[in-house]
Amino acid sequence: MTTHAPQAGQAVTLPTTLDEAVAALAAMPAAVPVAGGTDLMAAVNSGQLRPTALVGLGRISEIRGWQYQDGHALLGAGLTHARMGARAAGPPQIRNAGTLGGNIASAAPTGDALPVLAALEATLIIAGPGGARREMPVSHLLAGMEMLRGGELIGYVRVPLLHAPQIFLKATGRTGPGRAVASVALVLDPARRGVRCAVGAIAPMPLRPLDAEQWVARLIDWDNNRTIVPEALHAFGEYVAAACIPDAVPGVDGSVPELPPAVLHLRRTVAALARRALGRALS
C-alpha cells in the first residue's frame, strides 16, 4: 500500500487488496473511496464534495476481473464498463474509467448497470473490517433498505448464469452515447420459464413490472423455440409501460386527466423498449 499527498492536506492511499482498502478506510473515517473517479471527481470539481483523504481502488487487481462459482458469475466491483462490454455507457473515456462498483454506489437513476442487475436479481458481496464479508440484494441497497456501513466497500457482484439471452436497451434523447432517458433490461430464465424485466432511468431506482413479467411468461411457448405471437409482444410493451408510468389519479368527479405530453412520450418510449427487448430476447 502506498500513500501520496498530491495537494496540501489531501492524502491518497493506494491499497492493493480489498482488505487493505477497508483497513485504510477504518484508519481514516473521513476518507472517501475512489475507483474510476468519473462521478466522484465531477462532485469534487463542482464543489459538492471536498474529501480530505481518498482511498484509491484502482490497484486492487482482485476486483478487476471475474470468475465463475456455483452457477454464478462473480464480477469484481473494479470492472470497467469497457471490460464488461457496456458499449452504451457514456463516451469512451467514461467507459474505460467508470466501474461497476462506482455505478452501484453512486446509484444514479441513469446508471446503466442498475436495471441489468435488478433484472438479474444480483447480490452484492460487501467487504468489511477484519476480513468480514456479507451479502445483500442489489435492490436492497438501491431502495435504501440496507446501506453500506462506514468503512465497507462493494467487493463483488454475484449474478446467476441463466444460459439465455439478456438484452439491455436504452433511449438517450440524442444520437451517440449519452445518459439514459429510459432503459429496459430483460432476461430470460428458461429453467424457471420466467421473464425478468427492469425499467431504468424513469424513477430513482429500477422498476420491476412483476405482473407483466408473469403474464408474458405464460404466453411464451417455451417448448417450441420460445415463440410468442406478435400481439403479445406489443401488449407486453404496453403492460410494462402502464405499470411503470400509471394513468393519472381520477379527479373527484371520477374523470381521469390526460397525462402531460412529455409523460405520454416517455410511456411510449418505455413500451417500445420493452417490446423490442422481449422480441430480441426471443428471436
Is 73 among the residues that bind ligand FAD (CB under 6 A)?
Answer: no
Q: Which of 95, 79, 77, 97 is nearest to 21 (CA)?
A: 77
**Nearest approach, Cβ of residue 255 and ligand FAD (Å):** 40
Please say which residue, 94 or 233, places its beta carbon nearer to ligand FAD.
94
Tell me whether residue 117 or residue 266 sits nearer to ligand FAD (CB atom): 117
C-alpha cell at 8: 496540501
* From candidates 31, 75, 79, 103, binder to ligand FAD by CB under 6 A: 103
Interaction of residue 264 with ligand FAD, rule CB under 6 A: no
- 56 makes contact with ligand FAD (CB under 6 A): no
Q: How far is CA 240 from CA 52, 214, 233, 280, in A?
A: 45, 11, 11, 16
Distance of alpha carbon 258 from alpha carbon 263, whole angstroms: 10
Q: Residue for cell digits 379527479?
A: 251
- The reply to whether 153 sits near ligand FAD by the rule CB under 6 A is yes
Q: Which residue is nearest to ligand FAD (CB)?
A: 102
Q: How far apart are CA 118 and CA 142, in angstroms?
A: 9
Candidates 14, 23, 28, 33; binder of ligand FAD (CB under 6 A) is 33
- 44 forms part of the interface with ligand FAD (CB under 6 A): no
* Residue count, binding to ligand FAD (CB under 6 A): 31
End-to-end Cα distance, the chain: 50
199: burial class by Cβ within 10 Å (0-12, 13-18, 19+)?
buried
Interface with ligand FAD includes 154 (CB under 6 A)?
yes
Question: Cell 468480514 appears where?
Answer: 132
Name 203's Cβ contacts closer than 8 Å, sequence gap at least 6. 109, 244
Contact 201/182 with Cβ under 8 angstroms? yes
Q: Whole-number minimum distance, CB 78 to ligand FAD, in Å?
A: 7
Q: How far is the CB of 193 from ligand FAD (least distance, A)?
A: 31
Return the number of the residue (108 or 162) whose C-beta is nearest ligand FAD.
Answer: 108
What is the helix (H) or strand (E) element at residue 170, kind and residue range?
A: strand 166-171
Verify binding: residue 54, ligand FAD, rule CB under 6 A: no
Cell numbers found for residue 104:
452501484
Q: Which lies closer to ligand FAD via its Cβ, residue 19 or residue 39?
A: 39
Q: Which residues bind ligand FAD (CB under 6 A)?
A: 32-40, 42, 57, 77, 89-90, 94, 97-99, 101-103, 105-106, 108, 110-112, 153-154, 177, 179
